[in-house]
Amino acid sequence: MTKIVLPSGFTVDATNILNDKAVSSESLLHYFPKLADAVKAAEKVRHTGVVDGHLSKDGTPEAVLFPELPYVEDGHINSPAVLERLEALGAHAKADIDAVVSFGIGGSFLGGKVLFDAYAGEFWNQKSDEARGGYPQVYFSGNNVDPHRTQGLIDTLAASAQAKGDGFKVMLIVISKSGSTIEPMSNFMVVKEALENKGIAFEVVAVTDPHEGEKETLLHKLASREGWPIFSVPDGVGGRFSVFTEVGLIIGAVIGFDLRAFLDGAKAMDQACQSGDILENPALLCAILKYVAAEEKGRYIEIMMPYGDSLKSFAEWYVQLLAESLGKHRDDGNGSYGRTPVVAVGTTDMHAQTQEHQEGRLNKVVSFVRVADWGVKLLVPHMYDDFDKLAAFSGLDLGLIQNTALEANAEALTGDNRYNMTVTIPKVDEFSLGELMFMYCWAIFYEGQLAGVDAFNQPGVEVYKKLLGPKLAKHKGGN
């Protein structure tokens, strides 16, 4: 049994991967010197912001500052003033705004979406104002250039405006570090024009790189010219780590999510992730086991499978974190590293993917996320107890059925030496989400160190971008 349990109840259970039939304790001994180096590198980045070998897009050394994000202190990215300003924006949204549309893609979208889905949930926009605690409806856009969906969003906003009549007000939050990404900026312009044409009141908030002068982003220039409030995508924090900055927190702010509890969860996790002992440090344990599973056993696919609909976007966020951080050429020029992430949701995908997890190629690790307490009990009524198959689960709580299904899935996979791990979060709340997401940030850091890749750049995404610009230019004037 290999379990790490934190004071909150957050648990990493590695029993079904760390055992003599899968990754054995003996096989890990060989990696201890590398682990010690990874822990030293973690200490270094914590104290200096330096990750050896990390270069920015333009080839110059760049700080890596995600470790400071949980600590709300003067001089930090998350200072008391930053938190207060976000909370003030939240209060303004609550008092004056009916609907928020957030435009962003990749790291400027995925983290905020996790907070929204986990906290507000699928039915938020259908709830009454009272049930939303006065906070606005929230829509996401700019994470694709799908004209159908954007038209649907415009129609939805127009219908809400018509239903409410005068006084309906929209807040457009445009999030882009570079300030000119095609998906968010094109959708923003389309939606803004539609609101203007329909006479729907709106205001704009920009979230972008705060630099002025030569490095000023186009979004920053626009915001300054138009007088829109500007929030920051800070230096030294890549998009996939930015949920702990104004980029993700701004979404939390406009739905009444407790930003400080979220950062407290991240802080608690950060403290657990400082140990050099894999049986104490949950991130180090995840990193070494998945690294060895990939390198020695060919288990290089990771199925991220939370049990619960509201955590699906957590799995989507993790896909970017893993893929963009670790899928790349090794620093020493010795080939490539990477593990392929896949989103799955329990129990849904037990009816779609589990067949392959159970009998397909032995090339994957299944990472389960379990919620210990759903905070709601819904018992299946004894409605048709005259049918044995329905009587078999009548009287049981839905959450219990869900967690039991996870247990059965893990046991079935283990029975055929299919590697899996289970992370348990006590509840779906701000603190637990902070713990969960920050653990994976550190796990990716450690795995990057073990694999010898720069986890903080993404040169591979530039290749298609260089081709897309000239291709679009050919279409200009020919619509």
Residues with a catalytic annotation lie at 324, 351, 465
Q: Give the Cα separation of 354 and 443 in Å (integer).
A: 25
Number of H-type helices and E-type strands within the chain: 16, 13
Choosing from 8, 78, 102, 108, the residue that interacts with ligand PA5 (CB under 6 A) is: 108
Residue of the chain from 178, 186, 274, 363 that contacts ligand PA5 (CB under 6 A): 178
* Beta carbon of residue 165, minimum distance to ligand PA5 (angstroms, whole number): 35
With CB under 6 A as the contact rule, the residue among 132, 177, 290, 339 that binds ligand PA5 is 177
Residue nearest to ligand PA5 (CB): 106
Choices 152-160, 235-243, 260-268, 358-366 (CB under 6 A): range interacting with ligand PA5: 235-243
- Nearer to ligand PA5 by Cβ, of 240 and 364: the residue is 240
Q: How many residues make contact with ligand PA5 (CB under 6 A)? A: 14
Whether the CB-CB separation of 205 and 229 falls below 8 Å is answered with yes
Alpha carbon of residue 264 to chain centroid? 17
**Nearest residue (CB) to ligand PA5, 26 versus 58:** 58
Among 70, 106, 111, 346, binds ligand PA5 (CB under 6 A): 106
The answer to whether the CB of 289 falls within 8 A of the CB of 421 is yes
CB of 446 vs ligand PA5, minimal distance in Å: 19
Smallest separation, CB 241 to ligand PA5 (Å): 8
Could you tell me which of 292, 230, 336 has the C-alpha nearest to residue 450?
292
* 183 vs 435 by CB, closer to ligand PA5: 183
**Stretch binding ligand PA5 (CB under 6 A), from 101-109, 288-296, 338-346, 438-446:** 101-109
Alpha helices in 176-244 (DSSP H): 182-198, 218-226
Residue 234 engages ligand PA5 in binding (rule: CB under 6 A): no
d(CA 255, CA 36): 42
Cβ atoms within 10 Å of 42's Cβ, excluding its own: 22
CB of residue 352 to ligand PA5, shortest distance in Å: 27
Using alpha carbons only, give the angle 440, 448, 277 rounded to the nearest 5 degrees: 65
SS3 (DSSP) at 345:
coil
Chain residues 310-339 in contact with ligand PA5, contact rule CB under 6 A: 324
User: Is residue 238 close enough to count as binding ligand PA5 by CB under 6 A?
Assistant: yes
Query: Longest C-alpha distance within the chain, in Å?
Result: 75
Are the beta carbons of 328 and 122 closer than 8 angstroms? no
Minimum CB distance to ligand PA5 smaller for 218 or for 400:
218
Q: Indicate the length of the chain as a whole number.
A: 479
Closer residue to ligand PA5, CB minimum distance, 86 or 105? 105
Task: Tell me if 240 contacts ligand PA5 by CB under 6 A.
Answer: yes
Tokens describing residue 273:
């992730």
Out of 102, 141, 143, 176, the only residue in the binding site for ligand PA5 (CB under 6 A) is 176
Helical residues (DSSP H) of 141-244, grouped into ranges:
147-164, 182-198, 218-226
Q: Least CB distance from residue 106 to ligand PA5, whole Å?
A: 2
- For the CB of residue 440, give the shortest distance to ligand PA5 in the complex, in Å: 14
Q: Which of residues 11-30 bind ligand PA5 (CB under 6 A)?
A: none
Binding window for ligand PA5 (CB under 6 A); candidates: 13-21, 100-108, 115-123, 284-292: 100-108
Q: Judged by CB under 6 A, which stretch of 176-184, 272-280, 292-300, 375-383 contacts ligand PA5?
A: 176-184
Express the helix, strand and coil content of the chain in percent, nearest 5 each: 50, 15, 35
3-state secondary structure of 361: coil
Task: Give yes or no for residue 107 binding ligand PA5 (CB under 6 A).
Answer: yes
Q: Rounded distance, CA 446 to CA 37, Å?
A: 10
Q: Which residue has the tokens 């104490």?
A: 280
Give the one residue of 8, 141, 143, 181 binding ligand PA5; rule: CB under 6 A. 181
| Least distance between ligand PA5 and beta carbon 219 (Å) | 9
Closest approach of ligand PA5 to the CB of residue 359, in Å: 34
Nearest to 290 by CA among 31, 6, 5, 40: 31
Closest CA to 398 of 382, 374, 422: 374
Near ligand PA5 by CB under 6 A, which window of 22-30, 236-244, 376-384, 416-424?
Answer: 236-244
CA distance 103 to 141: 5
Residues near ligand PA5 (CB under 6 A) are: 105-108, 176-178, 181, 184, 238-240, 324, 458
